Structure 1
Amino acid sequence: MSSDIAAEVGPAVQAYQASVSDFDREVARVLGVGSTDLACLELVLGADGVSPRDVATALGLTTGSVTTMVDRLEKRGYVTRHPHPDDGRKVLVRATPRLTERVGAAMGPMLASAGADVLERFTDDELAAVVRFMRVAAAHQAAHTVLLRAEPPAVD
């Protein structure tokens, strides 16, 4: 690896991360939710039902705060609660058609243009390297997130 390209990786990743954060912020605004609510909705959209405990674990929240968040998202018509198929004491949170439609309207144009604007500019081998890089970087980031979760919060 040349030191020239290695020096460009950090700023490029930071710029990408900033653009994703900006886009997510605008999607949250369009949906009328906050950033934590949006993170919950992303989990719900990617699954056929997710338990509040799983949401709490994934987002580093208490189950009580997730219950309040799900109440709020349910009032907006974005999620519904359903009995857990294996344990009647538990519930699963699922996306509503309203959420799917609103997210599709917000994200659809960006996703539709990604092929021509981004993917078609690279060969399959280049994209394979990008995928490998992103997976390794994500695993690295996740490992350090676990370490930070073990640290106590700052008390001033």
Structure 2
Amino acid sequence: MKTSRRTFLETALIAAVVPSIASASGTVENPMQIKFSFNNQIFTATLNNTPTALDLLTLLPLNIQIEDYSTNEKIAYLPRKLTVEGSGPFGDEAPGDLCYYAPWGNLALFYAGYRYSSGLIRLGRLDGAVTPLLQRGNSRSGLNRPANTRP
């Protein structure tokens, strides 16, 4: 699939900057971590080093509406579609996966088992339990970088 020049440049810039992020103490923090604040809970996810995940980082910070979808996931629509460059089928699907569904342009946070379907791109995984996602209902959520990382 053809990518726009802007998407290519954003991805290249992030790829160049992300490995060099360091904390004030001089230790390298996890630059691929994102933080959700959802239903009065805070949890993190670690992103894979892929063009789609890097493109998500260019949108942060975000305020998004997280909605129940089916019986195994919550979804949230993004303000624009992400690049699908380098994506393809994957296996070992598991609760805790953070994915992007390209046809609809939404994030998918899986809290129960699921199977890969065409257009689904795994972005990373939740860093802890899926417990924050088990509460039914829709909620506003902040999506940001943790305080200990710098863009």
| TM-score (normalizing by structure 2) | 0.27
Tell which has more relative contact order, 1 or 2 (C-alpha 8 A, sep 6+): 2
| TM-score (normalizing by structure 1) | 0.27
Q: Which structure has the bigger radius of gyration?
A: 1
More helix by share: 1
More strand by share: 2
